[in-house]
Chain A
Amino acid sequence: MANSTLLSPSRQQQPAAPAPVPAVKRRLPASRIAATVVVAFLAALWLLPFGWATITALKSETEAAATPITFFPASGFTFEAFAKVLAEGNIPQWTWNSLFTSAAITLVTLVISALAAYALSRIDFKGRKLLMGIIVASLIVPPPVLIIPLFYQMVSFHLIDTYWGIILPQVIAPAMVFVLKKFFDQIPHELEDAARVDGAGRVRIFLQVVLPLSRPILAAVAIFVFIGAWNNFLWPFIVTNDSAMLTLPVGLQTIKSAYGIQYAQNMASALLAALPLILVFLFFQRQIIKGISTTGLAGT
């Protein structure tokens, strides 16, 4: 199932911009102060849900369910919600499921997309235009249309409640093929020609000349595919039922506690689930932001 639904292949690549200059050179201090206040207020508003979830997660269960609501719990902050969730629940298992399937999806998508993109970019073969047309057309297909026949297919293949059931439909990313193709198109031919003169065949050229030069785009595509796969809810929700096979987002939604709604634990689980990709973001901030801003890559 295509994991990039927001990318339009017709979006022109932005010309390399000079170092970003503030749009307006000099502003009156008063309006700058006002603007800073407004943006700070907005940012605070945007951080509020995280903050409130954290405060709740650090309360004891009784405190979290008590009225009136407190911002600083009378009985102090505690990690017991986190401890309970990690000890009794399935979060470690679900995290592993997400990690494994997302990594597999990323790897397979990258490999098959790069191969296809190279062919479309560099090889004039019979049927190329037709295939391009079909792949472009497939961008229009919304994933929800496919869930029913895909479910039926997975049942027939006995892949329900398996890792491969989760992985297989998600490795198809036509948008990523086009992103890679655009990049390959820009690699100068002289490099490949030089390698050919040295006697290298196509495969070697691909592996030893094109791929090494494509590391930035490959990295960007890998990051986005990984994020999309990790956060994907609909398909894993449909294809898995066994509590040991769920991915993290699906597990959080489907499995309830026998004890009823536990607010502090719910927030603790949510924060633990948010953690991995927030870490990814902190490490790969530059690439992610650049990826969205310049090539229009999407994570959804």
Chain B
Amino acid sequence: MQKALAPEISTWPDDGFQLRGSRCRACGETQFPVQTLCPHCSGREMEDVLLPRQGTIVAWTTQEFIPSFPYIGTESPKDFAPFAVALVQLGDVVRVEGRLTETAFDKIDFGDEVELTMVPFATDDEGNDIVTYAFAAI
């Protein structure tokens, strides 16, 4: 069985699931994940919004060594499989940091169009796959 790392940040496992964010009622700026105050205008009224599923890669890099604590991935330093990380612009709403599913790094480029998905990266004590959000090439 699959379990989400942080069930509260998305509508997964719904069909066409989306990430949850907060939009400021005063200035309209959006943040991810949900937060109660606005870092742009200091507004105190935020409304829940669902973020666009598709976006473009603004910046990206690779993670080629195993992250230290509090990373919960089940790999060992020896069998760790490097992954890519990107800053993805979702529509004209907000840019979100997340993993990319593409592991052939020479296929990734700035401006690539990607879509929200989930990837398994850890297992819990009961043998469930822990999944986190990621972006896959369209």
Are both chains from one complex? no
Binding site for A on B (CB under 8 A): none
